[in-house]
Structure 1
Amino acid sequence: MPVPDIRQVRRRCALLLPVVLLLLGAAAPPQRPAVDPEPVVGTDRGAVRGRAHGAYDTFEGIPFAAPPTGARRWRLPEPAPHWEGVRDAGAPGARCVQLPVLGPGGPIGSEDCLYLNVTTPAGGRAADGRLRPVMVWFHGGGFFSGSGDTYRPDRPAERGGAVVVTVNYRLGVFGLFAHPELGGAPDFALADQRAALRWVRANAERFGADPRDVTVFGESAGALSVCAHLTSPASAGLFHRAIVQSGSCSTTVPPGAVLPGLGRYEPFVPEWRTVEEGTLAAARLGCGGPAGVLDCLRRLDTGALATADLMQRFSLVSYGNGTLPLEPRRALEAGRFHRVPVMQGATRDEARLFLVQTLAAYPIGDEAAYRARLERSFGASAADAVEARYPVSAHPTPAIAWATLLTDASFICPALRDGAALARHVPTYEYRFSDRGAPNFTGLPEVPGLPFGAAHGFELPYLFTMAPLSDPQRRLADRMTDYWTAFARTGVPTAPGAPPWPRHGSAAAVLSLAPGAGGIRTVDARAEHHCALWDAQWPGVTTAG
């Protein structure tokens, strides 16, 4: 067996959430068979011509802000220019600059990338004349990969009667760079998303939707974005409901959990840390003078900036500034967030997708290797308590045992902790996606001893058209679409013929989602995932201490 290139493994796993690159960033946008006629809608910047697809229409590649190029690099988004005539909206706009997901190669995409896509039920308003709810999707990809056009939202539009908007936003060093000359870390990626929400507020009614009924939703880095908007004063009034999928405000991955030597992953970091990184990066790029640093950096071409190091180094969202005064999880605990209903959840086997990328190079082949990881990630004092609750003997393989505890510690229990904080102030609904037979649409092969199960992102084909589903899975997809779009309409997730979804507040208040008879049911997720253990053994992550 050839020895793996460890440098390549480290490069691909420099962060944990960027696994979403493989889920979302690599696929070409699905082809949509268009039929005549071509619908035309007038926006506040000019008219756009979309494409009709029978039960739904699409309008793609609509600019929602001016191109952030040249002197606009690292500036807050400005309004898109007006245009004359009718602009063709039959294809997506350019993706934001990013590196290829698989294999070598230079940057792809463009800095001129602030485009969005609208999918709306045919005919605009509902049959009774009412305006439709709007669902605005923020893609995943670790904040340095992905694009809105990867997702085909015909199911929530056609079945759920929602108008769905998918959004591009600046990535990596272009979206999350910081420097003293910028006044800190403006979090341009979040500013782009806010600009898209302002576009929705100005234009939703033109597409038959209600600008006073906007739901933001996203998965992984997109979910972290939703969390940020929930706790950002700058996002006040731009949305009315929020859905957080596999990326809660408290998502944190312990050191060495996936890759030896990799430190603790926290998606939100203090602004001073990012500013320091920006100052050092500018100096390494030859722009470290006492003044004019940004002018120097803006003269560099895209390729000089879109390196693997810089795109990943600047993929963390800064707090302690005007956008995010507090670390988001602390803001939730303090009740400092927008009072909107929230739906959030995780998949049952989140961590398996992260581990399959490194398991061949760093196997967990026996109990000794398992114990070594426990001590590296949680410390020797906590290892005994964790091992007692997650013994290797209770799982098919040591790798599955490790993936199970990592899912609980990093995703499910932190999300439940956030849910408790949210539920003190707003209606909160929590789910667990549990279909361990969900389709693997990532392009990654399974590794021996670690099937994907219900891995990170594997709920996405049930909400978007992304992969073939079996008949029972299609029925589950219908129920999930009903829940999601009902929440967007009313703030309460309901589905005809499906079990009721209780609000957070009782022990068995998490809705488990799986196909088949009895597959949708409430569970006591705190007990099933040993959250009391993580509250005690890993304070500061699942508790506010």
Structure 2
Amino acid sequence: MKKQMIASAGLGLALLTPYGTPAAASSGPGSSASSGPGSYASASSASGSAAASASAVVRTADGAVRGTTGPQVRTFQGIPYATAARFAAPAPIAAWKGTRDATKPGNVCAQPVGYPIGKPSTDENCLNLNVTTPAGKRGKLPVIVWIHGGSLMYGMGDLYRADRLAAGGAVVVSMNYRLGVTSFLTHPSLPDSGGLALDDQRAALRWVRKNIAAFGGDPRKVTIMGQSGGGFAVCGHLASPASAGLFQRAIIQSAPCGEASRTEAEALAESTEVIEKAGCADAPDVASCLRELPMAKLLDAYGTEREPRPYSGTPSLPLPVDQALRTGRFNRVPVLVGVNHDEENGMILGLELATGKPMAAAAYRPAVEQAYGGNAAAVLRRYPLGKSAGRTLATLKTDSTWSAPTLDTARALSRWTSTRMFEFAEQRTPWYAGYPKPSFPAAAQHMAELPYLFDLALFEKLSPQQTRLADRLIATWTRFARTGDPNGDGEQSWAVLRDDRGEAGWHVQSLTSGTWKRADFVEDHQYRFWSTVKK
């Protein structure tokens, strides 16, 4: 199951050109290159320019930062929130004198060459964050802390331009945090390591609690929000006593929480293989060997075919995440949890782009047998080959890997806290910019909702109809961040999920460009069937 998630979380686009800084990241409202009406660079008078310049300076507890101001938002990038030596817990940063430049993204955390949602890096001085605020609004605004996806192996916060989301009435924070081997390598001589991604994110949340009021945000209305690997991190924070009080709401996108942690034995077994490959297994001091190794060699030893998770049984994660949710031993805040209707389309179509041709019909049965083993016969009866082998395989893998487990997560949460579940089901979604059209529609594939919430150069520009849906989603997410309830603006009522009422209470809101209404989720995704299939 985890290998399926790796491919999906990376869009199935491993062979595409790795992410480079998109043009949109250096132009447009709120950026340092902005020169349109309302930006301080084009102010019509010296006094107007001075006022705009002053509004781009904010004093944090560690020192002043200067960002950029546009007609809709103010943007601050690359603000350090913590520092850390290799495999060590994050520590407070030293205060600075003067005004720190915050007009450019900070260092990207170490990660290998891979998906276009990441950027190859060997940097370890990378614990920095970005803040985007509405330009014309003051007061205590809700705060959305975005935890980027990328299988906890790839990615960076500045890829997700938050101008539209912030302009909707929220202060948006994104951060870089340690990934892959630098976060999850586990060994008895490395007492802090094994889940440093969550430790870094907690440090960023503490920074938010301490500093966000200076940017117009309300530290008592913090929503943590993540997608894919970032969504699994949100699951981890829900289950972590160490994260208690650092947030008041949570949004989980495309991340069933049953896969959000692993055992210490699993972490040690994976790490033993990595340490041997790195040449440190027989070193007199394993920790010193690993700390002195060039980062490029450490990344190479870890490889790219992993889906790391923090391990449970620690003070910060005492229980496996799924057990914590089932038993109610988690941080009980209102939760939005959701899945995309066609998650696995991204993996299948990515393979199609890589090979240059659609999946052959003859490949369907072997693929099912390889993925489902002793359950393959039952799966094949339930999902007979259709006109498109790729589309059929994507449908069944969406149902088994994403849809059914996400409903399991929502049901578990709903027994203890206010939980609303959604399915992003829009079928006319943007495709990847500059790539050939696929053999079947990508529809609501993995990541398909993100260009509606963020400005992502990875995708085609939104059409007017898609922009209207984006406005609705942003308004809904912002309402939830402000009040803990997504209802409003004339949208059809979105009921809380009530597991105590059985299937009648399993309300899943279908989010499309049409009327939002209850999805026929159980039937559409064969939930009863997958509930009987042994994992």
Q: TM-score range by the shorter chain?
A: 0.7 to 0.9
Q: How does 1:222-241 map to 2 (within 5 A)?
A: 222-241=230-249
SS of alignment partner, residue 244 of structure 1: strand
> Match of 1:341?
334
SS of alignment partner, residue 130 of structure 2: strand
Question: What residue identity is the alignment partner of 1:206?
Answer: A
> Match of 2:447?
457
Would the alpha carbon gap of residues 291 and 136 (structure 1) be closer, same or farther in structure 2, given more than 3 Å must change?
A: same
SS of alignment partner, residue 250 of structure 2: strand
Q: Which of 121, 127, 144 in structure 2 is aligned with 1:135? A: 144
Question: Please, which moves more after superposition, 412-421 or 501-510?
Answer: 501-510
Q: Percent identity, aligned pairs only? A: 41
CA distance in 2, matches of 1:181, 1:321: 15
> Match of 1:55?
72
SS of alignment partner, residue 88 of structure 2: coil
- Contact (CA 8 Å) 1:107, 1:306: kept in 2 or not? no
CA distance in 2, matches of 1:444, 1:250: 34
Would the alpha carbon gap of residues 92 and 387 (structure 1) be closer, same or farther in structure 2, given more than 3 Å must change?
A: same
CA distance in 1, matches of 2:313, 2:433: 36
CA distance in 1, matches of 2:481, 2:74: 20
Q: Which of 402, 418, 424 in structure 2 is aligned with 1:433? A: 424
Could you list the runs of 4 or more consecutive aligned residues of structure 1 that deviate by over 6 angstroms after TM superposition?
A: 11-14, 20-25
- Cα deviation for residue 508 of structure 1 reads 6.2
> Match of 1:534?
530
CA distance in 2, matches of 1:171, 1:61: 17
Unaligned runs of 5+ in 2: 41-51, 499-503
Answering whether residue 238 of structure 2 is matched by residue 205 of structure 1, we say no
CA distance in 2, matches of 1:89, 1:308: 34
> Match of 1:422?
413
Answering whether residue 475 of structure 2 is matched by residue 482 of structure 1, we say yes
CA distance in 1, matches of 2:461, 2:434: 14
Q: Which of 364, 370, 373 in structure 2 is aligned with 1:379? A: 373
CA distance in 2, matches of 1:84, 1:15: 45
CA distance in 2, matches of 1:489, 1:20: 35
CA distance in 1, matches of 2:490, 2:17: 32
CA distance in 2, matches of 1:102, 1:152: 18
CA distance in 1, matches of 2:301, 2:70: 39
Q: How does 1:145-544 map to 2 (within 5 A)?
A: 145-159=154-168, 161-183=169-191, 185-251=193-259, 268-289=261-282, 291-307=284-300, 309-310=302-303, 312-313=305-306, 315-359=308-352, 364-366=359-361, 369-380=363-374, 382-393=375-386, 396-441=387-432, 445-448=436-439, 450-466=440-456, 467-505=460-498, 506-507=504-505, 509-516=507-514, 518=515, 520-539=516-535
Q: How does 1:15-94 map to 2 (within 5 A)?
A: 16-19=8-11, 26-28=19-21, 30-31=25-26, 32=31, 33=34, 35-36=39-40, 37-38=52-53, 39-66=56-83, 68=84, 72-94=85-107
- Cα deviation for residue 427 of structure 1 reads 0.8
- Cα deviation for residue 326 of structure 1 reads 2.1
> Match of 2:153?
144
Question: What residue identity is the alignment partner of 2:533?
Answer: Q
SS of alignment partner, residue 350 of structure 2: coil
- Contact (CA 8 Å) 1:61, 1:117: kept in 2 or not? yes
CA distance in 2, matches of 1:106, 1:401: 32
Question: Please, which moves more after superposition, 276-285 or 329-338?
Answer: 276-285
- Cα deviation for residue 53 of structure 1 reads 0.9
Unaligned runs of 5+ in 1: 1-10, 252-266, 540-545
Would the alpha carbon gap of residues 183 and 101 (structure 1) be closer, same or farther in structure 2, given more than 3 Å must change?
A: closer
Deviations 1:155-176 (A, max 9, x none): 12112x1000011001111111
- Cα deviation for residue 444 of structure 1 reads 5.0
- Cα deviation for residue 242 of structure 1 reads 0.3
- Contact (CA 8 Å) 1:99, 1:108: kept in 2 or not? yes
Would the alpha carbon gap of residues 222 and 443 (structure 1) be closer, same or farther in structure 2, given more than 3 Å must change?
A: farther
Deviations 1:275-308 (A, max 9, x none): 2333343343332346421112211222221227
- Contact (CA 8 Å) 1:432, 1:510: kept in 2 or not? yes
- Cα deviation for residue 311 of structure 1 reads 5.3
Question: What residue identity is the alignment partner of 1:415?
Answer: T
CA distance in 2, matches of 1:379, 1:312: 21
CA distance in 2, matches of 1:84, 1:43: 11
- Contact (CA 8 Å) 1:19, 1:141: kept in 2 or not? no
Deviations 1:106-135 (A, max 9, x none): 942511111100001124524xxxx11110
> Match of 2:113?
100
SS of alignment partner, residue 11 of structure 2: helix
Would the alpha carbon gap of residues 437 and 191 (structure 1) be closer, same or farther in structure 2, given more than 3 Å must change?
A: same
Question: Please, which moves more after superposition, 530-539 or 13-22?
Answer: 13-22
SS of alignment partner, residue 269 of structure 1: coil
Question: Please, which moves more after superposition, 136-145 or 276-285?
Answer: 276-285
CA distance in 2, matches of 1:353, 1:90: 34
- Cα deviation for residue 334 of structure 1 reads 1.7
- Contact (CA 8 Å) 2:183, 2:195: kept in 1 or not? yes
SS of alignment partner, residue 71 of structure 2: coil
Question: What residue identity is the alignment partner of 1:403?
Answer: A
> Number of residue pairs matched?
497
Would the alpha carbon gap of residues 416 and 484 (structure 1) be closer, same or farther in structure 2, given more than 3 Å must change?
A: same
- Contact (CA 8 Å) 1:215, 1:239: kept in 2 or not? yes
CA distance in 2, matches of 1:20, 1:268: 23
- Contact (CA 8 Å) 1:439, 1:458: kept in 2 or not? yes
Deviations 1:351-404 (A, max 9, x none): 0111223356597422x5323333332234x334333332224xx412211111
Deviations 1:237-289 (A, max 9, x none): 111100000112125xxxxxxxxxxxxxxx53211222233334334333234
Question: What residue identity is the alignment partner of 1:112?
Answer: N
- Contact (CA 8 Å) 1:20, 1:142: kept in 2 or not? no
* TM-score, normalised by the number of residues in structure 1: 0.85
- Cα deviation for residue 153 of structure 1 reads 1.0
More helix by share: 2
- Contact (CA 8 Å) 1:349, 1:403: kept in 2 or not? yes
- Contact (CA 8 Å) 1:201, 1:211: kept in 2 or not? yes
Would the alpha carbon gap of residues 157 and 314 (structure 1) be closer, same or farther in structure 2, given more than 3 Å must change?
A: closer
